[in-house]
């Protein structure tokens, strides 16, 4: 699918390969690259997965792999954690309301 | 064109920093290991009154101090007869960016604008990013926030994702990275490329901005109760919150106010570990920052940190993740205040410490933070459960960070754990001395101020370290 120039996109880029990582990082982190994600306006028509240039909100040019178009947030309040209801009951029971005892 | 390799950029670190914060840190150095802290603080050339006026203009400060009457009532039910101090909370979530960090960002952004910088950059995964973004919006400054956000599988910490969203809501550019301290390298490249101001958390601007918090809470407490707080508890990570608050308290009163640091116990989890990254439920206010920054403040992103908690704190306690989540729900259920978990670290400690104090005494918990998708106790616990962390009721002392979260089965089990301050102070002295084997008398005086101890303590410690005083 072609993504049009001027679209709001996210790019991905490897900053340091595993072998370039700082000596002080723990072993598990040393096995993986340092990666970066930045958003901006696409400078040219391109397909997902292509190497592209974007113009960021501070008017900088960044190059990287095009990973998302119209990136959005989907973080939430999570699945119900029933223990929280129980905490509420416990603390209310200390204030003398017999319904919570 | 500068060489952008990791080694070359790191080698230019001091020059980049000097240009981007406008402070020549060499100017304050003396003796073998010492520097003039108060002289450095003067680099932020604003009086407390001026800081207050700036903050008032830009939507920061004057947050309400609220008495937690129902929580105090609960504490008195579980305390020994006559015990159970009144607990108050400074509702810092009311700042425009949703946390006390607005104070920390306000002077940096004001000063950057005044000096003619086009924009500011900050490296933070916390509320500070939103604070800098919010203040930048007010001043018409461009803003870049560099975050450590994802593990190598691309899974983001929900709390940090939410902070990215908030930064973007204020118009900031967010540069997101995977786990690792080399974030600093990317940060330096961006500073060099843009020529923006480094809105570091650790400059004199950042710390002076927090002094108003300490000042306000004393004045509000006096106005509401007729007395100053006996104890003020600060959630402690990089040390700036505590340092600025304590400095502000000293400017508000000559009376003794005990300053307590509280951190979430994340013992055993490595902060730079890719696999541990999403096994912790707190991304700030924890021992992973609190201990290293107390024992060596100058590990920060500036040569000399203005956040020096051992100069001010009287006591340092930890609480466990389960205890903080428990009191976060308690705050909502009993006081009708839904706030973010990390800011409630000091509230968990307060519930324990209030039981040591008499009923006419006063504890002030000096912050709250905003809550929302991702950074809510339900979101954080649900994420922990998805990551295989066991969540159960029991004795929080049995919690193993990264494996379990133990909610206290009753509030009596909330017990702040004292850290060995002598050990922490000795460790700080060791780190400040580094490889230097001979110290001057003025270095000894400096170390006394750094760890708030008498000369005999410092001399004994230096003897143990085989350091000579000449």
What are chain A's domains?
Answer: 2-72 (2.30.30.760)
| Coil/strand/helix, residue A7 | coil
Does residue A1 sit at the B interface (CB-CB below 8 Å)?
Answer: no
Disruptive mutation site among B184, B376, B378, B392 for chain A (greatest number of A CBs within 10 Å): B378
Domain of B144?
6-47+99-204
Supply φ then ψ for residue B31, to 5 degrees.
60, -155
User: What is the C-alpha to C-alpha distance for residues A59 and A13, in angstroms, rounded to an integer?
Assistant: 18
Question: Does residue B53 lie in a domain region?
Answer: no
Q: How far apart are CA B287 and CA B269, in angstroms?
A: 10
Cβ atoms of B241 and B260 within 8 Å: the answer is no
Query: In the 8-state DSSP scheme, what is residue A19?
Result: G
Q: Mind telling me how many Å the CA of B391 is from chain A's nearest CA? A: 8
Give the residue among B193, B161, B199, B164 at the shortest CA–CA distance from B277.
B161
Q: Of B402, B418, B434, at which residue does a domain stop?
A: B418
Task: Give the gap in angstroms from C-alpha A71 to the nearest C-alpha of chain B.
Answer: 11
- Does B106 fall in a domain? yes
* Angle of CA points B271, B273, B278, to nearest 5°: 80
Do B133 and B188 sit in the same domain of this protein?
Answer: yes
Yes or no, beta carbons of B158 and A73 under 8 Å apart: no
- Asked if B334 and A58 come within 8 Å (Cβ–Cβ), the reply is no
Regarding whether B215 and B196 lie in a shared domain, the answer is: no
A24 contacts on B by Cβ (under 8 Å): 181, 272
How distant is the Cα of B245 from the closest Cα of chain A, in angstroms?
Answer: 30
- The closest CB to that of B177, out of A31, A34, A90, belongs to A34
pLDDT tens, chain B, 470 aa long: 579 999 999 999 988 988 999 899 999 999 999 999 999 999 999 999 999 999 999 999 999 999 999 999 999 999 999 999 999 999 999 999 999 999 999 999 999 999 999 999 999 988 999 999 999 999 999 999 999 999 999 998 899 999 999 999 999 999 999 999 999 999 999 999 999 999 999 999 999 999 999 999 999 999 999 999 999 999 999 999 999 999 999 999 999 999 999 999 999 898 889 999 998 888 889 999 999 999 999 998 889 999 999 999 999 999 999 999 999 999 999 999 999 999 899 999 999 999 999 999 999 999 999 999 999 999 999 999 999 999 999 999 999 999 999 999 999 999 999 999 999 999 999 999 999 999 999 999 999 999 999 999 999 999 999 999 99
Residues of B in contact with A32 (CB under 8 A): 152, 178, 274
Helix (H) or strand (E) holding A82: helix A82-93
Smallest Cβ–Cβ distance between A29 and the set B272, B325, B373 belongs to B272
Q: Are B412 and B317 found together in one domain?
A: yes
Residue at token pair 């040569």: B303
At B1 the pLDDT is 59
A32: closest chain B residue by CA: B152
Considering only alpha carbons, which residue of chain A is nearest residue B70? A95
Cβ separation B194–A60 shorter than 8 A: yes
Q: Which residues contact B79 (CB under 8 A, 6 or more apart)?
A: B354, B355
B401 shares its domain with B326: yes
Question: B65 and B35 in one domain?
Answer: no
Q: Tell me which of A16, A33, A74, A81 to substitute to probe the interface with B (most B C-beta atoms closer than 10 Å).
A: A81
Q: How many other C-beta atoms lie within 10 A of the C-beta of residue B456?
A: 9
The answer to whether the CB atoms of B178 and A33 lie below 8 A apart is: yes
For residue B222, the domain's CATH number is 3.40.50.1100
> Per residue in A15-53, pLDDT tens?
999 999 998 899 999 999 999 999 999 999 999 999 999
- Looking at beta carbons, which residues of chain A come within 8 Å of B182? 15-16, 21-22, 25, 34
A16 min Cα distance to partner chain B (Å): 8
Question: With an 8 Å Cβ cutoff, is A101 touching chain B?
Answer: no
Query: Do residue B127 and residue B242 come from a single domain?
Result: no
Statement to judge: residues B377 and B460 lie in one domain: no
Give dist(CA B42, CA B61) in Å, integer: 22
In a domain, B38, yes or no: yes
Asked if B410 and B283 sit in the same domain, the reply is yes
For residues B210 and B241, the answer to whether their CB atoms sit within 8 Å is yes
pLDDT for the residue numbered B66: 98
| Domain closes at, from B379, B398, B418 | B418
Which of A24, A39, A95 lies at the smallest CB-CB distance from B181?
A: A24
Flag if A80 and B378 touch (Cβ within 8 Å).
yes
- Mark whether B356 and B414 lie in a shared domain: yes
Are residues B258 and B314 located together in one domain of the fold?
A: yes
CB B278 within 8 A of CB B151: yes
**C-alpha to C-alpha distance for B17 and B34, rounded to whole angstroms:** 20
Asked if the structure places residue B326 within a domain, the reply is yes
Whether residue B1 is contained in a domain is answered as no
Residues of A in Cβ contact (< 8 Å) with B165: 73, 75
Q: Which residue of B has its CA nearest to A76?
A: B373
Q: Residue A4 gets which letter from DSSP? A: P
DSSP state of A43: S
Query: pLDDT value at position B125?
Result: 87
B12 and B125 fall within a common domain? yes
pLDDT at B465: 97
Residue B343 belongs to a domain: yes
Number of domains in chain B: 3
Q: Return the closest-CA partner of residue B110 out of B129, B134, B136.
A: B136
pLDDT tens profile A48-87: 999 999 999 999 999 999 999 999 999 999 999 999 999 9
Whether residue B359 lies inside any domain: the answer is: yes
User: What pLDDT is recorded for position B271?
Assistant: 86
- Position B223 in a domain: yes
- Determine the Cα–Cα distance for residues B353 and B232; give it in Å rounded to an integer: 11
Please check whether residues B372 and B446 belong to one and the same domain: no
* Residue A97 pLDDT exceeds 90: no
CA A36 vs. chain centroid, Å, equals 10
Residues B251, A16: Cα–Cα separation, whole Å: 47
Predicted ipTM?
A: 0.96
Kindly report the three-state secondary structure assignment for every residue of chain B: CCCCCHHHHHHCHHHHHHHHHCCCHHHHEECCCEECHHHHHCCCCCCHHHHHHHHHHCCCCCCCEEECHHHHHHHHHHCCCCECCEEEEECHHHCCCCCCHHHHHHHHHHHHHHCCCCEEEEECCCHHHHHHHHHHHHHCCEEEEEEEEECCCCCECHHHHHHHHHHHHCCCEEEEEECCCCHHHHHHHHHHHHCCEECCCCCHHHHHHHHHHHHHHHHHHHHHHCCCCCEEEEECCCCHHHHHHHHHHHHHCCCCCEEEEEEECCCCCCCCCCCCHHHCCCCCCEHHHHHHHHHCHHHCCCCCCCCCHHHCCCEEEEECHHHHHHHHHHHHHHHCCCCCCHHHHHHHHHHHHHHHCECCCEEEECCCCCCECCECHHHHHHHHHHCCCEEEEECHHHCCCCCEEEEECCHHHCCCEECCHHHHHHHHHHHHHCCCCEECHHHHHHHHHHHCCCHHHHHHHHHHCCCEEC
Q: How far is B378 from chain A (nearest CA, A)?
A: 6
């Amino acid at each position: 699918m072609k993504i049009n120039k001027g679209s709001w996109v996210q790019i991905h880029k490897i900053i340091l390969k595993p072998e370039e990582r700082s000596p002080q990082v723990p072993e598990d982190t040393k096995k993986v690259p340092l990666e970066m994600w930045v958003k901006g306006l696409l400078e040219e028509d391109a397909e997902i997965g292509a190497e592209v240039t974007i113009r960021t909100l501070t008017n900088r040019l960044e190059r990287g792999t095009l990973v998302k178009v119209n990136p959005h947030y989907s973080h939430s309040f999570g699945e119900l954690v029933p223990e929280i209801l129980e905490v509420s009951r416990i603390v209310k029971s200390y204030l003398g309301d017999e319904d919570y005892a | 064109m500068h060489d952008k390799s990791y080694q070359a950029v790191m080698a230019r670190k001091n020059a980049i920093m000097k240009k981007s914060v406008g402070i020549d840190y060499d100017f304050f150095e003396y003796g073998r290991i010492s520097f003039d802290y108060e002289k450095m603080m003067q680099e932020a050339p604003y009086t407390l009154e001026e800081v207050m006026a700036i903050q008032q203009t830009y939507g920061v400060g004057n947050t309400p101090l609220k008495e937690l009457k129902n929580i105090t009532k609960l504490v008195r039910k579980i305390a020994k007869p006559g015990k159970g101090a009144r607990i108050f909370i400074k509702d810092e979530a009311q700042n425009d960016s949703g946390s006390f960090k607005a104070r920390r960002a306000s002077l940096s952004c004001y000063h950057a604008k005044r000096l003619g910088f086009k924009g500011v950059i900050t490296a933070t995964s916390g509320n500070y990013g939103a604070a800098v973004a919010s203040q930048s919006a007010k001043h018409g400054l461009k803003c870049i926030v560099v975050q450590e956000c994802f593990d190598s599988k691309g899974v983001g910490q929900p709390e940090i994702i939410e902070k990215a969203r908030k930064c973007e809501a204020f118009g900031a550019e967010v540069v997101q990275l995977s786990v690792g301290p080399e974030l600093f390298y990317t940060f330096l490249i961006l500073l060099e490329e843009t020529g923006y101001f480094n809105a570091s958390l650790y400059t004199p601007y950042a710390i002076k901005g927090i002094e108003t918090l300490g000042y306000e809470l004393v004045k509000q407490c006096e106005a509401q109760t007729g007395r100053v707080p006996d104890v003020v508890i600060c959630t402690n990570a990089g040390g700036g919150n505590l340092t600025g608050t304590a400095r502000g308290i000293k400017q508000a009163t000559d009376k003794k106010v005990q300053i307590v640091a509280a951190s979430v116990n994340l013992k055993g989890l490595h902060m730079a570990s890719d696999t541990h990254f999403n096994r912790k439920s707190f991304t700030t206010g924890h021992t992973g920052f609190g201990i290293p920054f107390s024992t060596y403040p100058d590990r920060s992103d500036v040569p000399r940190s203005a956040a020096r908690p051992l100069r001010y704190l009287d006591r340092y306690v930890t609480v466990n993740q389960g205890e903080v989540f428990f009191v976060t729900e308690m705050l909502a259920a009993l006081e009708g205040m839904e706030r973010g978990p990390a800011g409630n670290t000091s509230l968990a400690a307060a519930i324990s410490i209030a039981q040591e104090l008499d009923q006419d005494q006063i504890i002030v918990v000096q912050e709250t933070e905003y809550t929302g998708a991702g950074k809510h106790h339900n979101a954080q616990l649900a994420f922990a459960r998805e990551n295989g962390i066991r969540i159960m009721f029991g004795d929080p002392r049995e919690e193993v960070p990264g494996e379990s979260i133990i909610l206290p089965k009753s509030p009596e089990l909330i017990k702040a754990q004292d850290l060995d301050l002598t050990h922490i102070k000795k460790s700080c002295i060791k780190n400040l001395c580094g490889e230097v084997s001979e110290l001057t008398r003025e270095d000894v005086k400096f170390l006394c101020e750094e760890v708030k101890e008498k000369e005999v303590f410092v001399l004994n410690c230096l003897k143990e370290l085989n350091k000579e005083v000449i």
